[in-house]
Amino acid sequence: MQLYNKLSAKEREALLEEAGEDRLTISFYQYAKIGNPELFRNHLFVAWDQMEVLGRIYVAHEGINAQLSVPAKKFNTFKAFIDDIYFLKDIRLNIAIEQDLKSFLKLKIKVRSKILADGLNDETFDVTKKGEHVDAEKFNQLISDPNTILVDMRNHYESEIGHFQGAITPDVDTFRDSLDIIEEDLKEHKEDKNLVMYCTGGIRCEKASAYYKHKGFKKVFQLEGGIIEYTRQVREKEIENKFIGKNFVFDHRRAEKISEDVIAQCHQCGKPCDTHVNCANEACHLLFIQCEECAEKMDDCCSDHCKEIHALPYEEQKALRRGKHNSNKIFKKGRSEVLKFKH
């Protein structure tokens, strides 16, 4: 029984190009009690590997969180397989707006202690006592109500390129940080205001809404399926779109364009731009926004220092990295002194 990838990302990329088949980029999550995550993981791997599913999936005692890509012609088989798992039956699959053949190049299913790195102690509150789920139409109504406070539950580099009109976008690096900041800011309004929240695909709100109810907020709402599902409904039902800019996503595509607005700026020259890149210096890899001109001028790097290193022969770069830990900029996404136009 083969339980791990046999192909490298490069080999897979070549195969996908050769096959040229349509693939669907899908995400879903579910909180559920899973007794033996290791066994469940292997069960998924064997089945999905056969269906040529690719993606990044986390399995834990608390549930599953999956971002994946499925060959279009295998979609029905995939759906039938999911429906056979009792806690996944009829689960809503978020299907990406823009499809990319190469959104994922490997099937990675990892057993983790949690499906969402939330930094919370689960024993303190009940995750099943969550906020009221609302669809796009109800969400639009709620956010035009003056009695509503709208909060973006994502991190700074996500809301920077796109968010809902009028949303509070906390300047945070982690989900845990945003929970405290929002609670402190809104503590006067626990009873009287509607607390409406959203995130990319809904999973962060699942936890956050339960957390705020536990903290005494009375009217808590969450956008069901997040920005991904909102956009699908807006397009299908032709309702007004209140999201401006791009939706940051967690695969090779990096973002989906939701409206034509460009609300961010190049972190190097300040001109309007909302394209995230990673610094080409492998020892840096900083995530930041860079326009095409700056990319050319800087050789795809975040700073002159990185540009110098990137210009060295590969073996010399490797020698420089030896013995050093990976730069923690990889985790400090989009924050660095060298970026003049990052606010």
The residues that are catalytic are 199
Compute the least distance from the CB of residue 331 to Zn ion, in Å.
14
Q: At which residue do the structure tokens 């064997």 appear?
A: 46
208 touching Zn ion, by CB under 5 A? no
Question: Smallest distance from the beta carbon of 154 to Zn ion, in angstroms?
Answer: 23
As measured in angstroms, the least distance from the Cβ of 343 to Zn ion is 15
Torsion of CA 292, 296, 301, 306, to 10 degrees: -160
**Residue 10, class by beta-carbon neighbours within 10 Å (0-12 exposed, 13-18 middle, 19+ buried)?**
exposed
339 binds Zn ion (CB under 5 A): no
Name which position in 59, 199, 203, 266 contacts Zn ion (CB under 5 A). Answer: 266
Which span (24-32, 66-74, 89-97, 298-306) binds Zn ion, by CB under 5 A? 298-306
Applying CB under 5 A, which of residues 289, 306, 309, 339 lies at the interface with Zn ion?
306
Candidates 254, 269, 300, 321: give the one binding Zn ion (CB under 5 A): 269
Query: Binding Zn ion by CB under 5 A: which of 150, 291, 298, 309?
Result: 291
CA 123 – CA 36 distance, rounded (Å):
20
302 lies in the binding site for Zn ion (CB under 5 A): yes
330 lines the binding site for Zn ion (CB under 5 A): no
- Strand pairing report for 148-152 and 243-248: unpaired
With binding defined as CB under 5 A, does residue 281 bind Zn ion? yes
Q: Does 94 bind Zn ion (CB under 5 A)?
A: no
The C-alpha atoms of residue 288 and residue 217 are separated, in whole angstroms, by 35
User: Residue 42 is which amino acid?
Assistant: N
Whether the Cβ atoms of residue 251 and residue 136 lie closer than 8 Å to each other: no
Asked if 289 interacts with Zn ion (CB under 5 A), we say no
- Alpha-carbon gap, residue 147 to 79, rounded angstroms: 40
Stretch that binds Zn ion, among 15-23, 65-73, 163-171, 289-297 (CB under 5 A): 289-297
Q: Closer to Zn ion at the Cβ: 237 or 332?
A: 332
Question: Taking the C-alpha atoms of 29, 3, 40 and 223 in order, what is their torsion angle to the nearest 10 degrees?
Answer: 0
CB atoms within 10 A of CB 114: 16
Binding window for Zn ion (CB under 5 A); candidates: 6-14, 59-67, 91-99, 287-295: 287-295
Interatomic CA distance for residues 275 and 293, integer angstroms: 12
Using the contact rule CB under 5 A, the part of the chain among 17-25, 48-56, 212-220, 301-309 near Zn ion is 301-309
d(C-alpha 309, C-alpha 4), whole Å? 34
Shortest approach of Zn ion to residue 342 CB, angstroms?
12
By CB under 5 A, which span of 39-47, 68-76, 257-265, 282-290 interacts with Zn ion? Answer: 282-290
Task: Please answer whether residues 281 and 310 qualify as being in contact, where contact means their C-beta atoms are separated by less than 8 angstroms.
Answer: yes
- Residue 95 in contact with residue 26, Cβ under 8 Å? yes
Nearest Cα residue to 104 out of 30, 29, 158, 23 = 23
* Residue 278: φ, ψ to 5°: -110, 140
Site string for Zn ion, 209-248 (x = CB under 5 A): ----------------------------------------
Chain residues that interact with Zn ion, rule: CB under 5 A: 266, 268-269, 279, 281, 284, 286, 291, 294, 302, 306
